[in-house]
Amino acid sequence: MNRLIRATAILSFISLAIIFSACGVSTAEQQSNKKMEKPRPSIPVSSDKPKIVAFGDSLTAGFGLAEKESYPYLLQKKLEAEGYNYEVINAGVSGETSLGGLERIDWVLEQENMQILVLELGANDLLRGLPVIKMKENLSTIIKKAKAKNIKVLLCGMLAPPTMGASYQREYTNAFPNLASEYKVEFLPFLLENVALNRDLNQADGIHPNAKGAVIMTENIYKVLKPMLAK
């Protein structure tokens, strides 16, 4: 019963996101994105530390948050506190779709000593109702490009609500675990676990985590990421 309630809550969250998108929240974000997307996220190249690249959309970029409140920054601090010698790079772009990610992944993978890619894309494909097969192809190519360079991948999944139609919902929801299984990469089923639908943990749009929510989101990622690390 608890699992059913939890699943219903998650799906309700995604439905809420689509409603906000239709009401113009995404439009406001897109206007901000124009400023955020160019120049592309600056990736430091001076450090010799092994690199973890957080690659995704507004959830990764830290939309509506200060830099020190974004999950990549918080992840960096957590790794340092636990004695891990990694440099975390924020390569998130608000509004990014899986196609947008594919178009810039080669540039990101050029970084020296990159060891782990945290791949968080697909939510904007859902909001725009883009074909799941194309999203899956884009994510598949990103994963293959990373693995070709011996870079480990942590794939973050998402769920589709019933309002998208049973066929789309099933195809979209299954895309992420299927990709993780096919390419044998680590998998986080839902990035916003214990954050979605909680007003105290989200910004006014009801979609993006606030500073407190970002802390929990970081913990969600870290639980899956930790076994991938080396001291």
Report how far apart, in Å, the C-alpha atoms of 69 and of each of 1, 163, 196, 210 are: 35, 32, 17, 8
User: Choosing from 58, 70, 94, 98, which is the catalytic residue?
Assistant: 58
Is 167 labeled as catalytic in the residue annotation?
no
User: Choosing from 12, 15, 32, 205, which is the catalytic residue?
Assistant: 205
Residues in a beta bridge with 119: 55, 155
Asked if residue 45 lies in contact with residue 111, where contact means CB atoms within 8 angstroms, the answer is yes
Per-residue burial over 115-148, b = 16 or more CB atoms within 10 Å of its CB, e = otherwise: bbbbbbbbbbbbbeebebeebbebbbebbebbee
Residues in a beta bridge with 202: 209
User: Choosing from 70, 98, 125, 208, which is the catalytic residue?
Assistant: 208
Residue 166's CB is within 10 A of a number of other CB atoms, namely 9
41: enclosing H helix or E strand: none
Name the H helices within 97-210.
98-109, 123-127, 132-148, 166-183
Active site (catalytic) residues = 58, 205, 208
